[in-house]
Amino acid sequence: MTTATTNIAARAVDAWKVYGSGEAQVIALRGVDVELEAGHFTAIMGPSGSGKSTLMHCLAGLDALTRGQAFIGETQITGLSDSGLTKLRRDRVGFIFQQFNLLPTLTAEENILLPLSIAGRKPDPDWYKTVITTVGLGDRLGHRPSQLSGGQQQRVACARALVAKPEVIFADEPTGNLDSRSGAEVLGFLRNSVRDFGQTIVMVTHDPNAASYADRVIFLADGGIVDEMLEPTAEGVLDKLKNLDVTAGGA
């Protein structure tokens, strides 16, 4: 669906998100403008309360902006009905969450095919084989989530997001609940899917090491974009974050 004239997979224009009112009012996003390129691995970082998760939720059609617009490709998602958003998520977006990512009643294979089953579509057999081979779950496909390790579960979740070939995959702290080795496996896998298959991935994380797998890191603080970094390294990201904490703490 991405048009030839632009290679922007998702963008936000003057995005505002306000929770509550009066004394209890919290402004999570203050007029954010951001464009996320297709075929790239973008990480969104920032301290707690910076609005990074809110930005991702609004871009993914899970939450609605208070003001401004969000787009997936050229489709404006702001103002879509619940069924419109559902259809959008089903057909054009993939998700990877931090935890409780799989349905315990389904086998690994059924979990992977869940979005396609819901949409009533058949998987492309070649692509399915490729995905399975990439995540390395060949002999575990018949297992239930409770019989898999945390890393294996998250790889199943990655496979689920990939198999439907969505325009963009949103990953919310995908390594938050994993040990460092499993985390590295999952991140490597995500990066490879961008390099080898041209998948677009947007990842929210607070882990500089995870962010170093991305092509580009966007830094948020106090509901606004404060900086960005291309071809990041873990050390570089960490330094940026320290600065942010200082400025945020000082403000």
Partner 1 sequence: MLRASLKSLFSRKLRLTLAIVAIVLGVSFLSGAFVLTDSLGARFERLFTSINQNVDVQVALSDDGQDADPTPRITQAQIDAMAALPGARSVSGDVSAVGVIPFDREDGKPATTSGAPQIGGGVLGDDPFALVQLADGRWPSTDDEIVITRYTANQTHSATGDRLRVFLPEVNEAREFTITGTAVYDGDRDSLAGETLILFEEGFAQRTFYGQEGLFSGAYLGARDGVTQEQLREQVAPIVPDGFEAKTGEQANEDAASEVQAGLSAITTYFFGPFAIVALLVGIFLIFNTFNILVAQRASELALFRAMGASWGQVTGSVLIEAVLVGVVGSTLGLLAGIGLGLGGSAALTSLIGAQLPGAGITVSATPVILAYVVGILVTVVSAFVPAIRASSVPPLAAMREVNRPDKPLKALTIVGLVFAVPGIALLILGLVGSSLTPLLFGSLLTFLGVVILSPLLTRPLAGVIGRVVGWGMSGRLGVRNALRNPRRTAVTAAALMIGVTLVSAASVLGESFTRTIDQTINQSVGAEVIIQTNTTGGPPGEIGFPDRATEQVRAVPGVDQVVPLYVSIEARVDNAAPPFGGTFATDDLAVMRDMFSMKAVEGDLRTLQPGEFVADENTFDSRGWELGQSVPIQLDKGAEQQYRLVGVYESTPIWTDTLVLPKQAVAGFAGPLALQGYVSLDDGADTDAVVDGVERVMADYPLVTVGDRSALLDQFDSFIDIALGIIYVLLGVAILIALLGILNTLLLSIFERTRELGLLRAVGLNRRGVMRMVGTESVVMAVFGCLLGIILGVGLGAALSSALIERDFLTVIAIPWVSLIVFVVVAAVAGVLAALWPAWRAARLNVLQAIAYE
Interaction site with partner 1 (CB under 8 A): 57, 62-63, 82-83, 86-87, 89-91, 94-95, 97-106, 114-115, 117-120, 160
Could you tell me the smallest distance in angstroms from the CB atom of residue 86 to partner 1?
Answer: 4
Looking at beta carbons only, is 87 or 165 nearer to partner 1? 87
Could you tell me the smallest distance in angstroms from the CB atom of residue 38 to partner 1?
Answer: 21
| Nearest in space to 57 (alpha carbons), one of 140, 159, 161, 172 | 172
3-state helix, strand, coil in the chain (%, to 5): 40, 25, 35
Cα diameter, the chain: 56
Looking at beta carbons only, is 166 or 232 nearer to partner 1? 166
Looking at beta carbons only, is 58 or 218 nearer to partner 1? 58
Pull the structure tokens for residue 91. 């057909």
Looking at beta carbons only, is 204 or 217 nearer to partner 1? 204
Q: What is the DSSP letter of 180?
A: H
| Nearest in space to 1 (alpha carbons), one of 179, 241, 166 | 166
Could you tell me the smallest distance in angstroms from the CB atom of residue 246 to partner 1?
Answer: 27
Pull the structure tokens for residue 157. 């979740």
Give the H or E element holding residue 29: strand 26-37
Could you tell me the smallest distance in angstroms from the CB atom of residue 79 to partner 1?
Answer: 17
